[in-house]
A = this chain, B = another copy of it.
């Protein structure tokens, strides 16, 4: 089925909902972008996604990235499309958050979204390269930047982030990759093994620039001791020309459930003691502490919201296919009318329920994601420092919620989309089974759902003495208060108010547990995922209702037969559905959290193992 995408909703987000004029008036953007350009970007971006990017997706899944004798061959077309996107402004040069000429994230991510829905594997290469470029821009010396940035940004080279090791996954502080000093204080000898490296070797361009976490000799234990090193696959001379290979061996690639065109590599650094890296950031302090992880985490909010975003792209792609199939497929007769003609299945009640569920969840999470990108844009670019600081806090709260809840909910949408197609959805004739396989990893990447739950309840909730979380709560409360009484959505707003009350209850539980750590500390991680889900569902409902109030105003301005009415009516339906059918789950979660049920901890360990 031909690739299509919901450009209209992106348009609504950027032109009718978010205060984009505020973003575009920041000095970094105001000479380059205007509100009136948005349609052009969306139209061109959609064309690129349809015509350039989507054609490589299915074949890439079938052929995959292949490792043979230490060399990776990319799936057909991936080198060409990578170069095209990077060279023509659809990639890192537009994404990098501090680069002159770069786009606001809100705008760039709308373009990225369509490409990622069209082919997630290729966009992961772009995203990693942007991450490396961002690190260089933020922490690199002028020399570092001059050596590496131009060819990363023009698509000659690509970048990777090397954190995970065989024995250090969720707990990266236990990394054992080492860095040894050489006679040049900037150059260190690197030795160790990194695994699950996205694009660790990709076969799409002439060089790969690895950002490697390693512990300098004598460094402190734990994550504080880790330094960050630029390790080119082929050494780069100061004039950007290539030197000799840098003893980085591709020892294997993962055979995965999906994302097969995206090589996930096992890399051996310094197997022959001939691997060198360029130190980023300051030398270790007197206690052996480096800032390696902190530097990498500097980009973490964007990259984690981005992972939630990726999963939502796949959900949206699957929903689009399911919705068009439902219009075309003739099967069955209306309920209770056995003698009439067969109808397209979109006429069946349960199909409509599933479609609206997919629409509400997908659009709601998309809204939340773009609100997150908006906060990042203001944080990174606003001249109003106080506002930037508030947005930094809000983005920090949004990050685990969007990543954790977003990726889990998106997977459920894809399973539902397959259900609309029935048996054919299980076949490779339609892209949904690939969407499902490609996106399952997104509940693990950039931290599992629990890691994000724990980030929320263990760190973000209490950060800045709880001020950021309080600001986040207040933004929801303000919306409820402003809509109470004057809203067309009385029932839904009271649901939201009730769910907000649940969040207050959950917050009290956590305050109590933190106040009684000796007896209660186990409940903090135990309820982390439930809390994350509750926050995600409240935030999603709030975004949808906020959009519905905009849609309601627009509807009043349109004539009764205007072609765009159904779009706004759909927005309102999605908000109503989510508030009435999904949001009540928060009541159950809050009750469960408050019950301090420790059954799973009291149950003997042997009873849990089969």
Which A residues contact B (CB, under 8 angstroms)? 4-6, 164, 167-171, 174, 196, 222, 254-258, 316, 319-320, 323-324, 326-327, 330-333, 335-336, 338, 342, 346, 348-353, 355-357, 359, 411, 415, 418-419, 422-423, 425-429, 433, 436-437, 440-441, 443-445, 448-450, 453-454, 517, 521-522, 524-526, 528-529, 565-567, 569-570, 573, 576-577, 580-581, 584-585, 587-588, 591-592, 595, 597, 599-610
Contact A599 B356 (CB under 8 A): yes
Contact A336 B608 (CB under 8 A): no
Write the chain B residue with the least CB distance to A432: B257
Contact B174 A342 (CB under 8 A): yes
A126 CB → nearest B CB, Å: 21
Contact A608 B257 (CB under 8 A): no
Contact A418 B440 (CB under 8 A): yes
Contact B336 A610 (CB under 8 A): no
Whether A525 touches B348, Cβ cut-off 8 Å, given contacts A573-B599, A585-B588, A588-B585, is yes
Contact A426 B597 (CB under 8 A): no
CB contacts (< 8 Å) of A576 on chain B: these are: 597, 599
Q: State the CA gap A522–B425 with chains docked (Å).
A: 26
Chain copies in the assembly?
2
Contact B356 A600 (CB under 8 A): yes
Whether A580 touches B595, Cβ cut-off 8 Å, given contacts A324-B609, A422-B448, A423-B164, is yes
Write the chain B residue with the least CB distance to A337: B521
Q: State the CA gap A448–B444 with chains docked (Å).
A: 29
Contact B525 A335 (CB under 8 A): yes
CB contact between A443 and one of B316, B411, B419 (< 8 Å): that residue: B419
CB contacts (< 8 Å) of A164 on chain B: these are: 423
CB contacts (< 8 Å) of A577 on chain B: these are: 597, 599-600
Whether A524 touches B335, Cβ cut-off 8 Å, given contacts A320-B610, A441-B426, is yes
Contact A580 B604 (CB under 8 A): no
Write the chain B residue with the least CB distance to A221: B339
CB contacts (< 8 Å) of A316 on chain B: these are: 610
CB contact between A606 and one of B444, B566, B610 (< 8 Å): that residue: B566
Q: State the CA gap A324–B174 with chains docked (Å).
A: 22
Whether A610 touches B319, Cβ cut-off 8 Å, given contacts A599-B573, A602-B573, is yes
CB contacts (< 8 Å) of A581 on chain B: these are: 592, 597
CB contacts (< 8 Å) of A569 on chain B: these are: 603-604, 607
CB contacts (< 8 Å) of A352 on chain B: these are: 600-601, 603, 608
Q: State the majority secondary structure of interface residues on A.
A: helix
20 A-B pairs within 8 Å (CB atoms) are namely A170-B331, A170-B332, A171-B331, A171-B342, A196-B423, A257-B426, A257-B427, A257-B436, A323-B609, A335-B521, A336-B524, A349-B522, A411-B415, A418-B440, A419-B443, A423-B444, A426-B441, A566-B606, A576-B599, A577-B599
- The residue in A356, A588, A597, A608 that gathers the most chain B C-beta atoms within 10 A of its C-beta is A608
**Top-10 shortest CB links A-B:** A570-B607, A573-B603, A257-B433, A356-B600, A320-B610, A566-B604, A349-B526, A350-B450, A255-B428, A349-B525
Contact A600 B419 (CB under 8 A): no
CB contacts (< 8 Å) of A342 on chain B: these are: 171, 174
Contact A453 B609 (CB under 8 A): no
Contact B256 A355 (CB under 8 A): no
Write the chain B residue with the least CB distance to A428: B255
Contact B570 A608 (CB under 8 A): yes
Whether A573 touches B526, Cβ cut-off 8 Å, given contacts A257-B426, A426-B256, is no
Q: State the CA gap A484–B529 with chains docked (Å).
A: 33
Write the chain B residue with the least CB distance to A600: B356
Write the chain B residue with the least CB distance to A517: B336
Contact A588 B599 (CB under 8 A): no
Q: State the CA gap A426–B254 with chains docked (Å).
A: 9
Contact B350 A529 (CB under 8 A): yes
Write the chain B residue with the least CB distance to A171: B332
Write the chain B residue with the least CB distance to A414: B440
CB contacts (< 8 Å) of A333 on chain B: these are: 171
Contact B580 A592 (CB under 8 A): yes
Contact A167 B526 (CB under 8 A): no
Whether A521 touches B567, Cβ cut-off 8 Å, given contacts A170-B331, A255-B428, is no
CB contacts (< 8 Å) of A319 on chain B: these are: 610
Contact B441 A423 (CB under 8 A): yes
CB contacts (< 8 Å) of A422 on chain B: these are: 169-170, 444, 448
A324 CB → nearest B CB, Å: 6
Given contacts A4-B610, A570-B603, 7 further A-B contacts (CB under 8 A): A196-B423, A257-B437, A319-B610, A324-B609, A326-B609, A423-B441, A423-B445
Contact A610 B323 (CB under 8 A): yes
Contact A426 B444 (CB under 8 A): yes
Contact B436 A419 (CB under 8 A): no
Q: State the CA gap A602–B331 with chains docked (Å).
A: 21
Contact A346 B609 (CB under 8 A): yes
CB contact between A350 and one of B437, B453, B604 (< 8 Å): that residue: B453
Contact A330 B426 (CB under 8 A): no
CB contacts (< 8 Å) of A566 on chain B: these are: 604, 606-607
Contact A324 B610 (CB under 8 A): yes
Q: State the CA gap A322–B569 with chains docked (Å).
A: 45
Q: State the CA gap A6–B353 with chains docked (Å).
A: 38
Q: State the CA gap A588–B585 with chains docked (Å).
A: 7
Q: State the CA gap A319–B18 with chains docked (Å).
A: 44
CB contacts (< 8 Å) of A356 on chain B: these are: 599-600, 603, 608
Contact B567 A607 (CB under 8 A): yes
